[in-house]
Homo-oligomer: A and B are copies of this chain.
């Protein structure tokens, strides 16, 4: 599992920082989460192939999370994209994108599908045989969802020594990998655990931005391997969290601890601070395994 932070600062793009956007690669699938202004240039900088992006998840309709989407969709169009593109985001996202395409008399040559979200309960928004993506309803100033990416377990791994030993025919291998026991010609039943090893452990990633401190998300993100949780403010500005409905680094760490996650990645820093290392320092007073997200950082996670 690989996380590429294209941008992780709040509010306005600057010469040195970018608004929210990131790529999560899980089970060889690539997903774009949020798309602030300038995301397409960040994708180019990181040499991420546009053709690998087929699913874009937008948390909410504040500009720093989606003003780059229409430009990316237009660029895909200019580059003669053929693959379908699926966009998941709050109701309204379809209207605003299509209005802009209509005003420019432009139409995508590829299939552009909007999956508009309105539910305040968690729901599965994408699923294939390798990955499942669900929403994490968040508490912010506008309707907002985080997203939970869960790798699905693959086949069990064949214990080749054992299957040779029992002289099991190849035609049963897939059945065994699917978990079945095997009855030999002499009537003996060989239980599956003698013929296989456990599959590669699955991984999971939860993206939670933007949100105030909200313990109601804990059941949804419990035990995830990696949690990206916004930390807009340092403790000195905790009073600003109520009005803005953002969180502090310590609050992010508290959620990480209570949800028993593997690793916490911080981000969505207010641009008022000179030194983002303080976010990590504060978070580590509550939860040990903290990574400091920053534009351009790539994190690889293995089990």
The answer to whether A61 touches B96 (Cβ under 8 A) is no
Q: Which residues of A contact B (CB under 8 A)?
A: 11-15, 37-38, 40-41, 44-45, 61-63, 67-68, 70-71, 74-75, 78-79, 90, 92-93, 95-96, 99-100, 103-106, 141-142
Given A70-B67, A142-B104, also A15-B41 (CB < 8 A): yes
Q: Which residues of B contact A74 (CB under 8 A)?
A: 12, 63, 67
Nearest B-chain residue to A17, judged by Cβ:
B41
A40 partner residues in chain B, CB cutoff 8 A: 12-13, 37
Q: Return chain B residues, CB-CB under 8 Å to A37.
A: 37-38, 40, 68, 71
Q: Is the CB of B44 within 8 A of A104?
A: no
In the complex with contacts A105-B141, A142-B105, A41-B63 CB distance below 8 A: no
The 5 A-B residue pairs whose C-beta atoms are closest, nearest first, are A61-B103, A12-B75, A63-B74, A37-B71, A92-B103
* Distance between A301 CB and nearest chain B CB, rounded to angstroms: 27
Q: For the complex formed, measure the closest distance between the CB of A4 and the CB atoms of chain B, giving whole angstroms.
A: 15
Give CA–CA (A71, B103) in the complex, Å. Answer: 18
* Residues on B with beta carbons closer than 8 Å to the beta carbon of A142: 103-105
Residues in B neighbouring A62, C-beta threshold 8 A: 104, 106
Across-interface contacts of A100 in B (CB, < 8 A): 61, 63, 67, 96
Contact: A44 with B15, CB < 8 Å? yes
CB pairs A–B below 8 angstroms (30 shown): A11-B75, A12-B71, A12-B74, A12-B75, A12-B78, A12-B79, A13-B38, A13-B40, A14-B41, A14-B44, A15-B41, A15-B44, A37-B37, A37-B38, A37-B40, A37-B68, A38-B38, A62-B104, A63-B70, A63-B71, A63-B74, A63-B104, A63-B106, A67-B74, A92-B103, A95-B99, A96-B96, A96-B100, A103-B142, A105-B141
